[in-house]
Amino acid sequence: MGMALPVEVLRLQTEISRMQRASARVTALPVHDALAPLFPEGGLRPGAVYTLDPAASLLLALLAEPSRAGSWCAVVGMPELSAEAAEAAGVDLSRFALVPEPGDRWLAAVSAIAEVFPVVAVRPAGSPRDAEVARLTARLRDRGGVLLVTGPWPQAEATLHLEDPVWSGLGEGHGLLTARTVTVSSSGRRSPVPKRVRVQLPGPQGAPVAVPRPALVPAVVPVPAAEERIDAAAAERAERARAVLARAEQKTRAARRGLAAVG
């Protein structure tokens, strides 16, 4: 009986070490390279909740790479979102499910789906209670799932916003809008200083495309050529000489008038 406690402690230590090693091996779910700088791990962290602006383009851009990498993705409570739009954004429809009308028990539906789908997106139909949020958060951490919420959510890992949209296409002779350039910002508990990327979202082919930052061009101050500097100096000297001659002529005329008056 006296040896049982040390053996049990050793077993628990071994189990804790195993779990810590498993946790260390957990990698982020991939996102497009254009959006990766927004996330400390370079992708969606398993067990985390992210809140987004209610823009389908941003949501689908975040679902595309996980689905293409083999993770099942589900969208709950967005009846206007179509499979065609998801496919155009690069989502693998063979690993994609839509639950457009979950009803009043939308949170229960999300919790059930999170049991089997690694990535779940939802538009909340109301404000969940703290206890419900805690249970869902624990389930996500246990399963290594990711929740994307198009709206407010307590204790979110990060919040993503779209800023400064600029559409292109019409003014360039295409006759239709071809791409939209936006700034996507991300801020959260682990990134209090917002991270920002400028991207085309959607890009010409649907997927986001990074927009390079304009290069800083030093101001160019025109410097006159050597010949111009010489010509300017010569002109200045000639002007001074003309002024001296003019004053001399004035003095000469004054002297002549004085002599004439004496004579």
Extents of the domains making up the chain: 26-158
Under DSSP, the state recorded for 98 is E
> Each residue of 117-170: pLDDT tens digit?
999 999 999 999 999 999 999 999 999 999 999 999 998 999 999 999 998 766
- Give the pLDDT of residue 178: 64
Partner residues linked to 120 by β-bridges: 74, 147
Whole-prediction pTM: 0.71
What is the Cα–Cα distance from 218 to 157, expressed in whole angstroms? 40
Q: What's the distance, CA 63 to chain centroid?
A: 16
Q: Is the confidence at residue 2, as pLDDT, over 60?
A: no
Q: Which of 17-31, 109-123, 169-183 has the highest mean pLDDT?
A: 109-123
Write the CA distances from 30 to 19, 41, 126, 139, 142, integer angstroms: 23, 9, 30, 21, 19
- Give the pLDDT of residue 17: 54
The total of other beta-carbon atoms located within 10 Å of residue 147's CB is 24
Choose which CATH entry (3.40.50.10540, 3.40.50.300, 3.40.50.970, 3.40.50.80) describes domain 26-158: 3.40.50.300
Residues 74 and 119: beta-carbon distance below 8 Å = yes
> Each residue of 215-244: pLDDT tens digit?
655 666 666 565 556 667 777 777 777 777
> Each residue of 193-213: pLDDT tens digit?
899 999 999 888 888 999 987
The total of other beta-carbon atoms located within 10 Å of residue 49's CB is 22
